[in-house]
Structure formats: structure tokens, C-alpha cells
Amino acid sequence: MPIDTITKTVSDRYARAAATGEQMCCPTSYDLADLKSFIPDEVLKISYGCGTPAGLQTVRSGETVLDIGSGGGIDCFEASRLVGPSGHVIGIDMTDTMLEIARRNAPIVAANLGYASLNVEFRKGMADTMPVDDNLIDLIISNCVINLAPDKRTVFREMFRVTKPGGRFTISDIVSDQQVPQYLAHDAEKWGDCLSGALTLADYMAGIAAVGFLGIHLVKFSPWRVIDGIHFFSVTLTGYKLPLAATTASVRYATLRGPFSGVTDERGTTYHRDIPRPITPDDALLLSAPPFVDHFLLTTEPVPLDHNDPRWTAVLPANVPCTWQGHYALLAGPFTEVEDDDHHIYRRGEPLEVCSKTVAVLEAQGYRPHFAILNRAGEHVSGEPVTCSPDGGCC
């Protein structure tokens, strides 16, 4: 299907929804009771998305925030409150009807917040050609919009271009557990439903990493719909554009604390639990980022660990029979590959069938933030318990 056709179909669909109040495709979890205190109902009733990227403690006071696909402005207005009067928020959208609503309500929101002047603006533009200067943005947010873009890799490149060194993104979107077939990809109506344009989680995260973002990791996960055996689900992801200069040059070694027995980072470096590894200043900068810091001991001298050290962590599988219940686990960063203590190898975004015993491990505190778990069983499963082999072969 031609890109122009997809773009027009999506734009027309959202313009119609804004005019009629039609409910759109994606699940939302806004705290409307809170937002009503300063955002007009005209905005709230046309607010669509699959997450709340501005409301997840990601926005900081005084920052410059960009919202890709700002719609009626709900996420921009929430960010406006959080950055405060010294910050600035830019919303970009391709639909005139949405822009009119957002611009009309911006002064009302500013007055409700007690601001002397607007700290939010709305620009007409496309996600793959953003009307934003290079290296300007502290934080990019987007709510179920990149899914709708025909050329997502160009969108990811634009995101990296406009982000400051040291900046980051927090974006919510719909992805799938397997590739969307052609009969769905060419269904114009389902583009507006956040279905036809969905990438697999593996391709989505790989596309972001390919443009230069690092530390890409899961913030929130929610199952949504199953169509013809394809699972569509919402993820909120964060990643970083690291600063140009390393600031942790004194750190020379990294020791993986766990709970994984081994990990591979986005630069292809592999770490094994307990064993200190020499690292570069750039490696130290990456491993100091929030999604990594709890997993590593960063030191000036090599420091091996063992299971008696309180800094050593693991989640060991129970020594009990397990059952197969239809669960599949998808690693969602910040590593591209990890190994657990039952010898499972998880690769980022790729579904791996896991038994009940492994599900219990993945739902434990050290593992839970890094995995999305889906159940592909179409009906109740009543499989007999099986005994795992010593090398983890049952899973």
C-alpha cells in the first residue's frame, strides 16, 4: 500500500474521531480525575493512546519535551504541568483538526496552571520529517503514534537527531509477538486501529537501537488483542542518547551482580556473573544508566563476587515438576541477550516458550521489569507435570 495512502487514511480517521467523538483503538490508562483539574473536557474526550508516557515520572522540571503525534494535546498539557513555567513543550501532529483543538485549549490550560505565558506550542508536521532543530530535546514522548507511521526507521532516526546528547525518550506503542501478515498490512482500516502497522517487539527495539539509542528497556507492558493468533500488546519503552564525553573515567571494571548468570549489552559485550571485566569509559557511562546500575558493580580495581557476598543476586528455579501452560516470555531490554540459572537463553523481543517453573522465576523481582509474558493457549491447559532435566532441557 502506498505510503501516501496510509498517511491520508490515518489522518482522516483521527480527524473524524475528533469531530464525532468516536472511540479509537488503543487501551488507555489516564487518570482523568486528576487531569480534569486543568485540562478541558474537549481535549480529554478525544485522547487516544496505549500508555501514559508523560505521567510515568519521566518528565523533569525545566526540560524541553517533544510529543510526537500530540493529537488534542493531553500528553503535552500533562508535560506542561510537569516541566513547570521554566520548561518548554512542543507537540507535532499531522491532523489540522487535532492541532486546532490543541491550540485553542493551550491558553486555558496555562491559565488553569497559573502560568503567566504559554510554555507549550503545537507544530504541524510528520513524524518522519519533524519540524524540530537538531540536539534540542531533553525528552521525547509519544503515545501509540509511531505504530501508525509507514516508515518507522526514519522516525527513529529523526528521534535521535532532535534529542540532545544526554537526552532520552519514553514512548508507548502497540507491537506484536510475530510479524503482521500481508493481508493485515494492506488493510487500510486496520492501520487506524494500531494493527496493520505494528512491528514485532524484536524489530521495534532493534530499529531504535540501530539509530544509536542505548539502554532501551521496558517500563510498562499490557496485553491488548489477539487476531488470528497474533498477539498485539502495549509497551512503554525508555532509551538514551548518551553524552558525547564520558564522565566516569575512574571506573575500570564491571562485575555482573545478577540475577542473570550472563548478559550481552547493546554493544555486543558479554558479562558473566561474579567475574570482573575491564571496561572503557564509554562502557562505564552506559552501565551507569538507570536500567543497568542495579545489575553491576563498577570499580577501579577488579572485584570478583561469590554467592556469599550480599551484592551477589540470583533467582534460582524451584526443584519441583513443572507444567506447560502456554506462556511465552519476551526479553524487553536493556540487554540484547541474557541467560538464567536454568540455562535458558532469551534474545530481545523474541518469544520463548517457558514452563510454569520458569514463569515463577521471571515474575520474581529481579527479572520482572525486563520481560513481557504472553499466553498463547487458546483454552484451559491441563498438561501433566513434567520433571526438568538437569540441563534445563524441559524448557
| Statement to judge: residues 280 and 367 lie in one domain | no
Are residues 229 and 99 part of one domain? Answer: yes
Instruction: Count the neighbouring beta carbons within 10 Å of the beta carbon of residue 95.
Output: 22
Domain membership of residue 266 as a residue range: 247-314
CATH number at residue 280: 3.40.5
Residue that is last in its domain, among 270, 286, 314: 314
Grid coordinates belonging to 85: 513555567
Q: 3-class DSSP state for residue 138?
A: strand
Q: In what order do the strands lie in the sheet with 327-331?
A: 352-354, 327-331, 371-375
pLDDT value, residue 216: 98
Q: What span, in angstroms and rounded, lies between the C-alpha atoms of 312 and 332?
A: 23
Q: Please tell me whether residues 265 and 346 are part of one structural domain.
A: no
**Residue 67 and residue 51 share a domain:** yes
Are 340 and 262 found together in one domain? no
Confidence of residue 240 (pLDDT cuts 50, 70, 90): very high
Among 258, 289, 314, identify where a domain stops: 314
Do 310 and 352 sit in the same domain of this protein? no
Helix (H, G, I), strand (E, B) or coil at 233: strand
The total of structural domains in the chain comes to 3
Rounded Cα gap, residues 325 and 243, in angstroms: 45
Average pLDDT for residues 95-113, to the nearest whole number? 96
Q: Do 220 and 197 lie in a common domain?
A: yes
Spatial contact of 155 and 128, defined as CB atoms under 8 Å apart: yes
Asked whether the beta carbons of 24 and 48 are under 8 A apart, the reply is yes
- Measured CA to CA, the distance from residue 137 to residue 305 in angstroms comes to 40
pTM score, whole prediction: 0.89
Q: Is the pLDDT of residue 16 over 90?
A: no
Give the CATH number of the domain where residue 195 resides: 3.40.50.150
- The CATH number of whichever domain residue 331 belongs to comes to 3.40.5.100
Q: Are residues 190 and 167 in the same domain?
A: yes
Question: CB burial class (10 A; 0-12, 13-18, 19+) of residue 306?
Answer: exposed
Residue 378 above 80 pLDDT?
no
For residue 283, the Cα-to-chain-centroid distance in whole angstroms is: 22
Please indicate, yes or no, whether residues 37 and 165 belong to a single structural domain of this protein. yes
**Quick count: other Cβ atoms within 10 Å of Cβ 118?**
16
Q: Could you give the CA distance from residue 383 to residue 380 in angstroms, rounded to a whole number? A: 10
Where b means 16+ CB within 10 Å and e means fewer, 145-165 reads bbbbbbebbbbbebbbbbbbe
Please give the Cα distance from 54 to 220 (Å, whole number): 13
pLDDT computed for residue 130 by the predictor? 97
Cβ neighbors of 63 (< 8 A, separation 6 or more) are 83, 87, 88, 138, 139
The CA distances from residue 359 to 16, 169, 261, in Å, are 43, 29, 17
**Is residue 278 located within the same domain as residue 341?**
no
Render pLDDT for 29-66 as a digit per residue (tens, 0 to 9): 678 889 999 999 999 988 877 777 877 788 999 999 99
**Mean pLDDT estimate for the chain:** 88
Both 256 and 122 in one domain: the answer is no
pLDDT score at 181: 86
Check: CB of residue 372 under 8 Å from CB of residue 233.
yes
| Locus of grid cell 539509542 | 213
Spatial contact of 94 and 71, defined as CB atoms under 8 Å apart: no
User: 181, 212, 240: which is the final residue of a domain?
Assistant: 240
Residue carrying C-alpha cell 489540522: 96
pLDDT band at 18 (very low <50, low <70, confident <90, very high): very low
Per-residue pLDDT tens digits for 146-199: 988 889 999 999 999 999 999 999 999 999 999 988 888 777 665 556 677 899
Tell me: do 42 and 62 sit in the same domain.
Answer: yes
3-state secondary structure (DSSP) of residue 270: strand
Cβ atoms < 10 Å from Cβ of 296:
23
Question: With bands split at pLDDT 50, 70 and 90, how would you rate the model's confidence at 257?
Answer: very high
Q: What span, in angstroms and rounded, lies between the C-alpha atoms of 82 and 117?
A: 15
pLDDT digits (tens, 9 = 90+) for 189-203: 655 566 778 999 999
End-to-end CA distance of the chain: 40
